[in-house]
């Protein structure tokens, strides 16, 4: 894949953007369950969701309608 990107340099930025080691993912309130709040991922346009749904305990979520999570891949 990287050899192919060397021939098409304009795609390098797109490749790095989607496969970088750190990504900020945004979630919006979806519904409340007994002890937690479910948030649904808001994916970038044209990109599949990375996480999907996220459950957060009510004591932490409070009344938040939006959450941002940073994912940092270590390997």
Tens-of-pLDDT digits for all 75 residues of the chain?
445 455 555 555 555 555 668 999 999 999 999 999 999 999 999 999 999 999 999 999 999 999 999 999 887
* Domain housing 34: 21-72
Residue among 33, 23, 35, 27 nearest 65 (CA):
27
Q: What's the pLDDT score for residue 63?
A: 95
Residue 32 lies in a domain: yes
Structural domain count of the chain = 1
Residue 51 lies in a domain: yes
Residue 9 lies in a domain: no
Residue 43 lies in a domain: yes
Residue 46 lies in a domain: yes
> Using CA atoms, how far apart are residues 29 and 54, in angstroms rounded to an integer?
10
Q: What's the pLDDT score for residue 12?
A: 54
Q: What's the pLDDT score for residue 4?
A: 46
């Amino acid at each position: 894949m990287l050899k192919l990107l060397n021939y098409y340099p304009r795609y390098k930025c797109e490749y790095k953007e989607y496969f970088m080691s750190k990504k900020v993912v945004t979630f919006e309130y979806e519904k409340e369950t007994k002890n937690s709040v479910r948030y649904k991922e808001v994916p970038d346009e044209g990109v599949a969701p990375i996480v999907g749904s996220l459950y957060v305990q009510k004591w932490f979520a409070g009344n938040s309608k939006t959450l941002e999570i940073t994912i940092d891949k270590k390997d």
